[in-house]
């Protein structure tokens, strides 16, 4: 057996023994040993994509939803460089990726050989661990090295405290395909008792105990862990819960869905300073919330990985792997005030949204309301997730996700595809037109590839809508070209190019019907950027009026 085939066969087998179930492959020549080993491996689900960037974000979505390591494989050269944005997102959001890049052997590096670049530590500090595997050789000891390396890579990607991407760079000499010879200097199998190395999970950390208080607040941002346990504890303690949609805690009687507007009203923010704030995950959607966190007397950040705790406001006073929120006795005046203010603002907002036609905040609100229980909603990183944060009503029975680690707009179609493939139920994605166009290659599926049940709801305002809400909008002369960036693309033709079913929604009331279907499909909703600015301004005004009326009423 040639060494390239031996290494690929052993590495794939050991990763499967560690628990690997999904692999994403971008085709190439130098990675042929891995591709052939995977094609022959019936224990994994193989996904093939022609574009490396799309492949990498597909793997990101699969790993993000399944919460298990997913392997990502490519050939040498710029193919590996195209993985970098997804690796960065995986690093920032704690998603377990196993990145396996094929490479030329050392004698071809630095010589101008075809498709040869410097792949040593290509992703820098964005990976949790890197290993240069080395050129395989037919000599005793190689199998132990390869199998133990695979176990280490899988365990380091999985975490469990700090999951993230791991990079193995594999140098293959030719021949790259099996030669018909099956002999090797030592047995290639790994035995019958599971992984070569059994990594044990450490016991749960001892929780930090907080003194009992009714004047506490639980804040939940992206990437939060153990959300249901903390939400239940906050409920027992009489604390309001301020959860971003992708935080997973926007449900139940204690959920305050209008916190963006409550804390954006100075009179309410000043009068509702808590004794303690506990933060799960990384909040980053609401500037009023971030400003309010800076003023908290006690701000406890819960971070399973104490090497990487989120604190964008630099306001943390304590960081702990786990927190115990005790039941507090006393009246419920604190929670009652939050809930009544939330109800007042919600009523005013919903009245305005019901009259706003096909506005972007209304679309976000109505889409969530229309989804069936058990659904997954993947949200675009720019305006869609912010519209959901500001307009979504609390509800149970759905899972919301977004790429909010680095918050880029790249790879969103492919990430949604991957998440949908890992989800057991119907899936939907709410994305903007620029994000959709940026990753339209994600719609390309080969005839033998697994196809998810995924409906893309694309908000088309012909450009970058978020910039119209930022200070750049005041620079009127160059704004439209360098920020607004209108594209004039007919999204129906984009969908048609990949054979994806397409529906244009003319009226917001037609949305539930348009969502029906099976397999990948596109629903376009056209909006106006300038009108969107007016709707957001009116929402802020009516919300603040409602807050002030509540405070003085």
Residues 6+ away with beta carbon under 8 Å from 433: 458, 459, 460, 461, 462, 463, 487, 489, 491
Cα distance between residue 211 and residue 329, in whole Å: 12
Cα→Cα distances 519→54, 379, 436, 440, Å: 18, 18, 17, 16
pLDDT at position 180: 85
Q: pTM here? A: 0.95
Q: Is the N-terminal amide bond of 480 cis, ω within 30° of 0?
A: no
Q: What number does CATH give the domain 360-526? A: 3.40.50.970
Tens of pLDDT, residue by residue over 134-147, are 999 999 999 999 99
Q: Is pLDDT of 161 > 80? A: no
Helices 3-18 and 142-158 cross at an angle (nearest 10°) of: 40
Confidence of residue 482 (pLDDT cuts 50, 70, 90): confident
Residues 6+ away with beta carbon under 8 Å from 553: none
Cα→Cα distances 174→30, 31, 79, 184, 519, Å: 9, 11, 19, 17, 41
Burial of 472 (0-12, 13-18, 19+ CB in 10 A): middle
376: left (phi over 0), alpha (psi -120 to 50) or beta: beta
**240 close to 268: Cβ distance less than 8 angstroms:** no
| Annotation: CATH topology of 3-171 | Rossmann fold (3.40.50)
Residue 70 φ then ψ, to 5°: -125, 135
Confidence of residue 328 (pLDDT cuts 50, 70, 90): confident
Among 24, 166, 164, smallest CA distance to 90 is for 164
Q: Is pLDDT of 201 > 80? A: no
Go through 72-92 and write b for each residue having 16 or more CB atoms within 10 A of its CB, e for each that does not: bbbbbbebbbbbbbbbbbbbb
Q: Among 193-202, 246-255, 385-394, 454-463, which is the least confidently predicted range? A: 193-202
Sign for the pseudo-dihedral over CA of 281, 287, 289, 295: positive
List the beta bridge partners of residue 197.
none
Domain range list for the chain: 3-171, 208-336, 360-526
Among 276, 216, 280, smallest CA distance to 244 is for 280
Confidence of residue 160 (pLDDT cuts 50, 70, 90): confident
Mean pLDDT of 291-310: 92
Q: Is pLDDT of 12 > 90? A: yes
Mean pLDDT of 182-186: 92
Would the CATH topology of 3-171 be identical to that of 360-526? yes
Cα distance between residue 143 and residue 163, in whole Å: 26
**335 close to 240: Cβ distance less than 8 angstroms:** yes
pLDDT at position 188: 93
Cα distance between residue 349 and residue 410, in whole Å: 31
Q: 471 versus 48: which is more confidently predicted?
A: 48
Q: Is pLDDT of 315 > 90? A: yes
DSSP SS3 for 545: helix
pLDDT at position 449: 96
Mean pLDDT of 293-307: 92
pLDDT mean across residues, the chain: 94
Cα→Cα distances 84→123, 127, 133, 369, Å: 6, 10, 19, 36
Residue 532 φ then ψ, to 5°: -65, -40
Helix (H) / strand (E) element for 429: namely: strand 427-432
At the fourth CATH level, which superfamily is domain 208-336?
A: TPP-binding domain (3.40.50.1220)
Go through 374-395 and write b for each residue having 16 or more CB atoms within 10 A of its CB, e for each that does not: ebbbbbbbbbbbbbbbbbbbbe
Cα distance between residue 496 and residue 500, in whole Å: 6
* Residue appearing with tokens 């504890």: 233
Tens of pLDDT, residue by residue over 374-426, are 999 999 998 999 999 999 999 999 999 999 999 999 999 999 999 999 999 99
pLDDT at position 266: 96
Q: Is pLDDT of 252 > 90? A: yes
First to last CA, the chain: 82
Cα distance between residue 452 and residue 458, in whole Å: 17
Residues 6+ away with beta carbon under 8 Å from 440: 413, 494, 497, 498
pLDDT at position 203: 80
Tens of pLDDT, residue by residue over 511-553, are 999 999 999 999 999 999 999 999 999 999 999 999 999 999 7
Mean pLDDT of 78-103: 97
Cα→Cα distances 246→17, 102, 129, 377, Å: 32, 35, 27, 9
pLDDT at position 410: 94
Q: How is residue 99 written in tokens?
A: 């990145």
DSSP SS3 for 272: coil
């Amino acid at each position: 057996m040639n060494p390239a085939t031996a290494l690929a066969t052993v590495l794939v087998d050991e990763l499967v023994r560690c628990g690997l179930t999904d692999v994403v492959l971008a085709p190439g020549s130098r990675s042929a040993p891995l591709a052939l080993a995977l094609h022959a491996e019936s224990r994994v689900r193989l996904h093939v994509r022609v574009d490396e960037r799309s492949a990498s974000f597909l793997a990101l979505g699969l790993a993000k939803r399944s919460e298990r390591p997913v392997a990502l494989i490519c050939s040498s050269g710029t193919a590996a460089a195209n993985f970098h944005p997804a690796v960065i997102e995986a690093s920032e959001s704690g998603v377990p990726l196993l990145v396996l890049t094929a490479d030329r052997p050392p004698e071809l590096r630095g010589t101008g050989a075809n498709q040869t670049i410097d792949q040593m530590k290509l992703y820098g500090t964005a990976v949790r661990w890197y290993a240069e595997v080395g050129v395989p050789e037919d000599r005793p000891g190689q199998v132990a090295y390869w199998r133990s390396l695979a176990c280490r890579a899988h365990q380091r990607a999985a975490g469990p405290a700090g999951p993230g991407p791991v990079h193995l760079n594999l140098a293959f000499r030719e021949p790259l395909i099996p030669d018909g010879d099956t002999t090797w200097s030592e047995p290639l199998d790994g035995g019958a008792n599971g992984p070569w190395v059994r990594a044990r999970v450490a016991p749960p950390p001892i929780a930090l105990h907080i003194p009992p208080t009714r004047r506490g607040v639980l804040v939940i941002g992206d990437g939060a862990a153990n959300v249901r346990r903390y939400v239940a504890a906050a409920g027992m303690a009489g604390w309001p819960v301020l959860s971003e949609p992708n935080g997973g805690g926007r449900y139940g009687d204690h959920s305050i869905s209008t916190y963006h507007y409550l804390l954006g009203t100075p009179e309410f923010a000043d009068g509702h300073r808590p004794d303690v704030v506990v933060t799960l995950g990384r909040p980053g959607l609401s500037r009023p919330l971030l400003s309010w966190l800076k003023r908290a007397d006690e701000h406890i950040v819960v971070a399973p990985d104490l090497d990487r705790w989120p604190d964008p406001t630099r306001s943390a006073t304590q960081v702990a792997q786990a927190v115990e929120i005790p039941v507090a006795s006393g009246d419920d005046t604190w929670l009652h005030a939050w809930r009544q203010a939330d109800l007042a603002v919600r009523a005013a907002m919903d009245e305005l949204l019901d009259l706003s036609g096909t506005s972007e905040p209304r679309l976000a609100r109505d889409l969530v309301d229309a989804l069936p229980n058990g659904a997954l909603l993947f949200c675009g990183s720019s305006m869609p997730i912010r519209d959901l944060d500001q307009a979504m009503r609390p509800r149970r029975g759905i899972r919301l996700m977004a790429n909010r680690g680095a918050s880029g707009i790249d790879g969103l179609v492919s990430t949604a595809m991957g998440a949908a493939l890992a989800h057991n139920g119907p899936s939907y994605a709410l994305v903007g037109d620029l994000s959709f166009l940026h990753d339209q290659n994600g719609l390309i599926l080969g005839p033998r590839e697994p196809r998810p049940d995924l409906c893309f709801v694309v908000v088309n305002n012909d450009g970058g809508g978020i910039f119209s809400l930022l200070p750049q909008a005041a620079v009127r002369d160059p704004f439209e070209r360098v920020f607004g960036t209108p594209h004039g693309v007919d999204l129906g033709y984009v969908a048609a190019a990949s054979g994806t079913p397409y529906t244009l929604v003319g009226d917001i009331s037609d949305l539930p019907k348009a969502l029906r279907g099976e397999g990948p499909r596109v629903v376009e909703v056209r909006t106006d950027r300038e009108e969107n600015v007016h709707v957001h301004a009116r929402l802020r005004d009516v919300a603040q009026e409602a807050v002030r009326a509540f405070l003085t009423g």
